[in-house]
Chains A and B, each alone.
Chain A
Amino acid sequence: MPYNETVATLGLEQYKYHFITQVEPLFKAQKGLSEEVVRQISAHKEEPEWMLEFRLKALRIFQSKPMPTWGGDLSKLDLDDIYYYIRPQDRMKRSWDEVPESIKETFERLGIPEAERKILAGVGAQYESEMVYHSLKEEWARQGVIFESIENGLKKYPDLFREYFATVVPPHDNKFAALNSAVWSGGSFVYIPKGVKVDVPLQAYFRVNAERMGQFERTLIIADEGSQAHYIEGCTAPVYTTDSFHSGVIEIVVKPGARFRYTTIQNWPRNMYNLVTQRAIVHEGAHMEWLDGNLGSKLTMKYPSCYLVGEGAHGEILSIAYAGDGQHQDTGGKVVHVAPHTTSRIISKSISRGTGRASYRGLCKVYEGARGAKSNVQCDALLLHDTSRTDTFPYIEIEESTANVGHEASVSKIGEEQLFYLMSRGLSEEEATAMVVRGFIEPIARELPLEYAVELNRLIELEMEGSVG
């Protein structure tokens, strides 16, 4: 049963007024970043010595790397004005009354269950989901699936953790991966044993309980040989948080013959800088799919990648970006073909509205020796206003003569004829526009789980209101 329905049938009204958890602040690192702060974080999490060393090394890398000058405008991002660690308890001290009316209204119109609204607004712990979560947890435990917070992963499975941690995204990969490596907190640790097929998507949503989604979340996923699973992070509804900076690292290892899909939809507040590194190493005959939706934030820079290192590995990146007024979505994907007969596909759809700017930035690299590698990239951009902006920056680097690589992109505005046709059937211009936009993103939306697709559609409708004239 889908999560939403389950919650609705549980009769949870009684909790309505009990969601505020007053917690005394136990620990709050000082603003800004220093070795001291990193030591405090590590000590607080009671981490082994090697992790502290790792964090400190990453901190030095972070400090030595220059800020990127490409992509979005990071000049307003003040890295010294950030709390790098706040105990989870402290994050929930907000009350429902503090949540902006606009967000509440959106929840209302999206038809999001009351209980979820509190969670999305960051004002309540997910007591309500506990029951659902527990039954799933038993099922997973029976199969040997590990689905824990990253902190618990490190505590309970130290060897497995250490074997894979930071092997996919090492700290020196880029400045923000280094930052995350130094101060990471929160996120998931997932292990799918050999041959196990997990039918119900693993939703970060269920797990993220007391520890709210962190600013510097770190997720490590290992899909062992022949396993299958789908992991879902985030949600289409707007998330309310007072943070203005989010920098996550997601590492996934897809072992031979495994199939893994990672879906993430972000709808961060419009003042958020969202700089995320997501990467998967895909082994022989394995299959990795990223489904990446970016609706919120002020600036997102995120390029999910697949490193196809085993023969016959397949990588797929489906990306939707929506850039409204004042937003810049600098997103795309990277596929790196290292082994023979590897294949990949990137489909990107972006919509720019008002003063929004959507940029596709991607890489297709085929190393010598990746015989018969095939890759296809398709980017379509839709512009809704004359103030909207779109860019396409693909990098195609081919060292292998037997490879076949194609890239295509198109940019267009909504066709007058399409609108005219729909309006002649009695739709308002707004409705017609929303319908064309829905049709435009449909090839990707149909890959989403039903409830996400429904929410996404509703959200597009909301966003299109007032988009005409």
Chain B
Amino acid sequence: MADARLSNEAATATVVGEGVNAAFNRDAVERRSAGLPEWLRQRRLAAWEVYERTPLPTTQVEEWRYTDVSLLKLDEVELEEAGGEAGGADAERLGLTGAAAGRALQVGARLVQVEVAEELQARGVIVMDLAEAAATHPELVEPYLGTRAVPPELGKFAALNGALWSGGVFVYVPRGVRIEEPIRVGRWMERPGVAVLPRTLLVADEGSQVAVVETFASPDFDAPALSCGVVEVYARTGSSVQYVAFQRWGHGVRHVSTQRTIAERDANLDTLVVNLGASVARVDLAARLEGPGARSDMLGLYFASGDQHFDHNTRQDHVVPHAHSDLLYKGALYDRAHTVFRGLIKVHPKAQRTDAYQTNRNLLLSPEARAESLPNLEIEADDVRCSHGATVGHLDEEELFYLMSRGMPRRIAERLVIFGFFGEVLERLPLPGLVEELRAAIEEQLH
């Protein structure tokens, strides 16, 4: 028998609904539903009801064991109502200045810019404010928004976003349309003390190809701010989709994100989650492989320093035979940083011939850094190939010694080894332009 650390205890109710933050209330839901189609208003209200009856997770809940929800400072923020000017955002940091097939920029509570290349628009590609799309293209939005991927029942924060999201982005790629350049989405927060609730819905129709890179950034704040986001990605039959969430919020921001991807038959759906910024980041990411021949590569990269706290909760759900998923999350920790990786490969009884892999590697670079790694497998089919591996270690002194014996100062040598460590993730990213951006961002972090 074991102590409680080995427990998977189910949620026990503690703080329910109201009382978390008076700024989140039913009136706000109604306000945000104004002018929207009735079905969407109903959906927001339904999400609000789920939010109200769902308790805040406590560390007694297995999936929140290492992250105390009080770290999120939920009671110290107001609901952001204001928008801002596009000029107020750091377009460079958000990656909005380079080549792109489409762009969207959220500042504060609103989208201030949405555009898509004319040639693509002509072929039916949609990059649009999600609320507007719900009104103009209900047939493309209603079946997907908050339904199979991130219904409010997934959790307290998914429900909160479902009720109160604003500045949503909708991307639709019609059948057979293949887009070369990525679509860039920027999320910018101007001030502390507020909560933003970004939402992204990406639907790639049969045989299409698209990459969406979403970047979260802000100045450093000396008070808390909250970003409670949801991402839903649907890769229809035979499509090829890449989704990147690049989180580089400034100090003070609490980042909570629920991401779900659904891959149909023969679809390739790859994700990359990068966590560099924010004071606290909690990312729930699940890939559901729903069609035979579907493949999902799940990459993750995190670099935490100071008092940063990152918690990754991933899931690879194999519900049909002949699907493939491969997860690689790598993290480096400085100072008093604390990171958590919890991953689950779930192979359902009918999912024969599944190939599923999961690897988490952590580099502890300071004496007070702390990492938890919990790679889990639940396998209910026999003809499968599944494995997982996890390591927590430190810089290899021999590698450093070798570089230093070549005349390199220790600091530079360390950086080189760390870049080598992350290289394995970056190499697998099929977006060369983005790799350079990420390298530069990591470099910035190392200073």
**Min C-beta distance of A272 to chain B, whole Å:** 15
Bound complex: CA of A365 vs CA of B368, how far in Å? 15
Other-chain residue from B4, B10, B376 in contact with A393 (beta carbon distance below 8 A): B376
Residues of A contacting B: mostly: strand
Interface residues of B (CB under 8 A from A): 1-10, 62, 349, 352, 362, 364-394
Bound complex: CA of A404 vs CA of B388, how far in Å? 17
Other-chain residue from B8, B10, B390, B393 in contact with A403 (beta carbon distance below 8 A): B393
Which one of A207-215, A321-329, A394-402 contacts B? A394-402
Interface residues of A (CB under 8 A from B): 68-71, 173-177, 275-277, 301-303, 334, 361, 363, 365-366, 368, 381, 383-413
Q: Which of A302, A384, A386 has the most CB of B within 10 A?
A: A386
Other-chain residue from A276, A400, A411 in contact with B377 (beta carbon distance below 8 A): A411
**Min C-beta distance of B389 to chain A, whole Å:** 5
Q: A68-B7, A303-B2, A402-B394 are in contact. Are A408 and B388 (CB under 8 A)?
A: yes
Question: A410 near B386 (CB under 8 angstroms)?
Answer: yes
Question: A401 near B7 (CB under 8 angstroms)?
Answer: no
Contacts of B372 in A (CB 8 A): 395-398
Question: A276 near B1 (CB under 8 angstroms)?
Answer: yes
Name the residue of chain B whose CB is nearest to the CB of A393: B376
Bound complex: CA of A111 vs CA of B368, how far in Å? 58
**Min C-beta distance of B60 to chain A, whole Å:** 11
Question: B389 near A408 (CB under 8 angstroms)?
Answer: yes
Bound complex: CA of A302 vs CA of B373, how far in Å? 22
Question: A396 near B392 (CB under 8 angstroms)?
Answer: yes
Bound complex: CA of A411 vs CA of B376, how far in Å? 12
Contacts of B3 in A (CB 8 A): 173-174
Other-chain residue from A69, A392, A403 in contact with B392 (beta carbon distance below 8 A): A403
Contacts of B383 in A (CB 8 A): 386, 413
Other-chain residue from B1, B377, B392 in contact with A174 (beta carbon distance below 8 A): B1
Other-chain residue from B6, B379, B391 in contact with A361 (beta carbon distance below 8 A): B6
Contacts of A405 in B (CB 8 A): 390-393
Question: B2 near A363 (CB under 8 angstroms)?
Answer: yes
Other-chain residue from A69, A366, A401 in contact with B9 (beta carbon distance below 8 A): A69
Contacts of B391 in A (CB 8 A): 404-407
Bound complex: CA of A225 vs CA of B323, how far in Å? 55
Question: B367 near A401 (CB under 8 angstroms)?
Answer: yes
Question: A174 near B378 (CB under 8 angstroms)?
Answer: no
Contacts of A366 in B (CB 8 A): 392
Question: B392 near A398 (CB under 8 angstroms)?
Answer: yes
Name the residue of chain B whose CB is nearest to the CB of A390: B379
Name the residue of chain B whose CB is nearest to the CB of A388: B382
**Min C-beta distance of A393 to chain B, whole Å:** 5
Contacts of A400 in B (CB 8 A): 364, 367
Q: Which of B369, B371, B372, B382 has the most CB of A within 10 A?
A: B382
Name the residue of chain A whose CB is nearest to the CB of B364: A401
**Min C-beta distance of A422 to chain B, whole Å:** 19
Question: A398 near B5 (CB under 8 angstroms)?
Answer: no
Q: A403-B394, A406-B391 are in contact. Are A70 and B381 (CB under 8 A)?
A: no
Question: A71 near B8 (CB under 8 angstroms)?
Answer: yes
Q: A176-B1, A391-B376, A398-B371 are in contact. Are A409 and B364 (CB under 8 A)?
A: no
Question: A396 near B374 (CB under 8 angstroms)?
Answer: yes
**Min C-beta distance of A203 to chain B, whole Å:** 24
Contacts of B384 in A (CB 8 A): 383, 411-413
**Min C-beta distance of A73 to chain B, whole Å:** 12
Q: A403-B364, A409-B377 are in contact. List 17 more A-B contacts (CB 8 A).
A: A69-B8, A175-B1, A276-B1, A361-B2, A363-B2, A368-B368, A383-B381, A385-B382, A387-B349, A389-B378, A394-B373, A395-B5, A396-B390, A401-B368, A412-B384, A412-B386, A413-B384
Name the residue of chain A whose CB is nearest to the CB of B378: A391
Question: B387 near A389 (CB under 8 angstroms)?
Answer: no
Q: A70-B7, A389-B379, A397-B372 are in contact. Are A404 and B2 (CB under 8 A)?
A: no
Bound complex: CA of A277 vs CA of B3, how far in Å? 10
Bound complex: CA of A163 vs CA of B9, how far in Å? 35
